[in-house]
Amino acid sequence: MSLQGEIREIAGELPLSHNAQVVLKKRYLKKDETGATTEAAPDMFRRVADTIAAIDRLYDPQTDVAATAQKFYDLMATLKFMPNSPTLMNAGRELGQLSACFVLPVDDNIESIFEAVKQTALIHKSGGGTGFSFSHIRPANDPVLSTKGVASGPISFMNIFDVATETIKQGGTRRGANMGILRVDHPDIEAFITCKNDTKRLTNFNISVGLTDAFMEAVKEDRDFSLTNPRTGREVQKVSAARLFDLIVQSAWSTGEPGIIFLDALNRGNTVPNLGEIEATNPCGEQPLMPYESCNLGSLNLAQVVHSGKIDYPALGEMVRDAVHFLDNVIDANRFPLDIIREKTLETRKIGLGVMGFADMLLKLNIPYNSEEAVEVAEKVAAFIQQEARQASAALADQRGNFPAYSGSKFDNNGQGRMRNATTTTIAPTGTISIISGCSSGVEPLFAVSFVRRVLEGTELIEVHPYFEELAKNRGFYTPELMQSIAGTGSIRDCKEIPQDVRRLFVTAHEVSPQWHLRLQAAWQKYTDNAVSKTVNFPRQATPDDVREAYLMAFDLGLKGVTIYRDGSREEQVLSFGAAKAKLQYITPRPRPERTTGVTELISTGCGKLYVTVNQDNLGFCEVFAQMGKTGGCASSQIESTGRLISLALRSGVKIDAIIKQITGIRCPSSNWTNGSQVLSCPDAIAKVLAHVAEVDPPAPTMATMGSCPDCGGSIEHEGGCLVCRSCGFSRCS
């Protein structure tokens, strides 16, 4: 059967887009030992619904499980709600691990550290992601009394976790993800802040600095700040808080990391402070958890509740109640990777109901994302969801009892009386589940109005946002040529042939100022139990001072954390928006000259040292040779072929700057930093040498560039500290 035929069978009668079907086939549906798909999308939703609904019998043997299963099936099959990926993948299957988020403790001894490494491996194998605070580990060069030696510090141990993660493939579908947090008052904090400036290090970690209110006040007042040895509790050094803060800002401006977590804000929102302080979160930062806790997440599709330009709150309320019931059942259906995780999870029964399709909701309401109206909608919808979720949790508590740690919790102290779940709401990055649901990601704005989707055999298709395409046709400015030209940048901001009100409505992430990103994040955070995962986008030309102001604004707004991304900072990306192709003209290259002169340059790549020779004759540049320091293998043959093809192009009259433009930004899994510039691959390295030799400026990406997916080469979006490909469903995060 052809792929297209198999894709059609996957959808059944469900309203799934082509991309959704591709993602389901590749990453979610059951397969046999030959890799052939053995279930369709309706089968998957039925498998999940039946497994989760069966839990009702634990609490009421006479309950109508079939009716609950049908309710859960309808919730997913109509794309109104999706649980997190492990639940879709594993419910009703042998693995049975259904949670996405875990936090493990790391104490200041070898036994604890390597026990955490082992536990991390088990969690990643089961499909989860892990968060850690490394703040308890003594600093580098601190005495180790048992050996009379000195400690290597928390960063050295993070490398061990990173290698373990790299080794384990999660259930054959996803590679593990980690969040590493270090308190800002740890003596190794400066080394931690800059540890990912070398992009070859800690590739399986997101990192965030745990900032305290005391530190932020010291920054504002330009005071010194104490660093404290966690082993002794004693101050070891005073540093300028402003200088340390600027180091965080500079690193985030350069590479997008570290993120920042406001620890005191996390603990102000901690509903069970009687169990201790929160020190860590899951990999994308939206789920603060105690040691050994896990949390299962799910998201409501807000695009589904706008009808005739109005929000259908009764329909949304019903979705919330059904989703809370579903997520509470997931806790009992879960096969936890460790007994202690089961114990701690059942103690608080945290769930995280979030949203996706918020940008689509605003479009249906005719409200621009960067507007006061959008902030008002966010607050009103978030407050409604939180209220309904807590009421649903209270109703479950009437039937099933409070969460065991209820006594002494904030709900108990506030006289709430009953609550099934210690937390109910979380705004998570929705990644692949928003692709399945055919809606925008989380609470992010649109990333592009139109983009190029790469399919089989190099074919490129223009993907246009369906609301924009419908509006363009209704208002008479739709043309295929216009849609293709928009795919060149992803933006319609400068398209004069499109009415101004439409351009104002369809703003993209790179057109939304950091201040509006933060205000929308704060609007959702105001009524969210846990935290909000969101990327604050900056244009390429933003300065470190712009990032500094955003961080201060985030603190003043009461956010629990911030992830920023300055366009082009983390990678000089392959352009993912297509341009019109010129007609072919067949040219015979001139013969190789007898005598040439040239230069050889050495440039370091992620694969090793690359020697690039560029030769010319009396007619100009004519030849390029490239050789890796280590010989042999597939890489060397590809490097040789790249040089030959460039030489052929040069002798065919192709301008060298055109060649540079074509191969600049090509990515491979191993990038490298050389002389302050990121080298993304061997072709990218050759482009840099050509630009230097020819004395031309390398091309800068256009406004709305995105990274290249390592699986399919398609567009990568930055969402809440995660990388997601909407073409094939690749996600860097659990």
Answer yes or no: is pLDDT of 573 > 60: no
> Could you read off the pLDDT of 455-487 as tens digits, one per residue?
554 566 788 999 999 999 999 999 988 988 898
Look at 4-18, 42-56, 178-192 and tell me which has the smallest mean pLDDT: 4-18
Helices 241-255 and 544-557: angle between axes, nearest 10 degrees: 110
Q: What is the pLDDT of residue 699?
A: 60
Answer yes or no: is pLDDT of 75 > 60: yes
Residue 186 exposed, middle or buried by CB count within 10 Å (0-12, 13-18, 19+): buried
Fold of 101-281+539-566: Anaerobic Ribonucleotide-triphosphate Reductase Large Chain (3.20.70)
Q: What is the pLDDT of residue 175?
A: 64
CB environment 17-40: b (16+ within 10 A), e (fewer): bbbbbbbbbbbbbeeeeeeebebb
Q: What is the pLDDT of residue 630?
A: 60
- Cα 392 from Cα 480, distance rounded (Å): 48
Q: What is the pLDDT of residue 146?
A: 73
Q: What is the pLDDT of residue 725?
A: 79
Strands (E), 579-721: 597-605, 608-617, 620-628, 672-674, 677-679, 707-708, 715-719
Q: What is the pLDDT of residue 574?
A: 29
Band (437; pLDDT cuts 50, 70, 90): very high
> Could you read off the pLDDT of 546-564 as tens digits, one per residue?
999 999 999 999 999 999 9
Prediction pTM value: 0.81
What integer best gives the mean pLDDT of the chain? 89
The token pair at 442 is 């989380």
> Could you read off the pLDDT of 223-251 as tens digits, one per residue?
999 999 999 999 999 999 999 999 999 99
Look at 96-105, 301-310, 696-705, 711-720 and tell me which has the smallest mean pLDDT: 696-705
- How many other C-beta atoms can be found within 10 angstroms of the C-beta atom of residue 622? 20
- Cα 482 from Cα 2, distance rounded (Å): 32
- Cα 719 from Cα 727, distance rounded (Å): 15
Band (578; pLDDT cuts 50, 70, 90): very low
Mean pLDDT of 65-85: 98
Look at 56-70, 288-302, 573-587 and tell me which has the smallest mean pLDDT: 573-587
Strands (E), 273-360: 280-281, 288-289, 294-301, 306-307, 310-311, 351-356
Element spanning 723, H or E: strand 722-725
Q: What is the pLDDT of residue 185?
A: 98
Answer yes or no: is pLDDT of 419 > 80: yes
Mean pLDDT of 141-151: 84
Q: What is the pLDDT of residue 606?
A: 77
Look at 382-396, 454-468, 564-578, 684-698 and tell me which has the smallest mean pLDDT: 564-578
The token pair at 265 is 């804000």
User: Which positions are catalytic?
Assistant: 282, 284, 286
CATH of domain 3-98+289-437: 3.20.70.20
Q: How far is CA 296 from CA 101, 232, 275, 422, in A?
A: 7, 37, 20, 13
Q: How many residues does the chain have?
A: 734
Q: What is the pLDDT of residue 349?
A: 98
Q: What is the pLDDT of residue 3?
A: 46
Residue 171, sorted as left (phi over 0), alpha (psi -120 to 50) or beta, turns out to be: left
Task: Enter the DSSP assignment of 581.
Answer: P
Look at 448-462, 541-555, 628-642 and tell me which has the smallest mean pLDDT: 448-462
Closest CA to 609 of 626, 623, 621: 626
> Could you read off the pLDDT of 700-709 as tens digits, one per residue?
444 334 456 7
Instruction: Give the DSSP per-residue string, 44-65.
Output: HHHHHHHHHHTTHHHH-TTS-H
Answer yes or no: is pLDDT of 524 > 50: yes
- Cα 685 from Cα 337, distance rounded (Å): 43
How far is the first Cα of the chain from the last one, in angstroms, to the nearest whole number? 32
Residue 606 exposed, middle or buried by CB count within 10 Å (0-12, 13-18, 19+): buried
> Could you read off the pLDDT of 525-538 as tens digits, one per residue?
999 999 999 999 99
Q: What is the pLDDT of residue 241?
A: 98
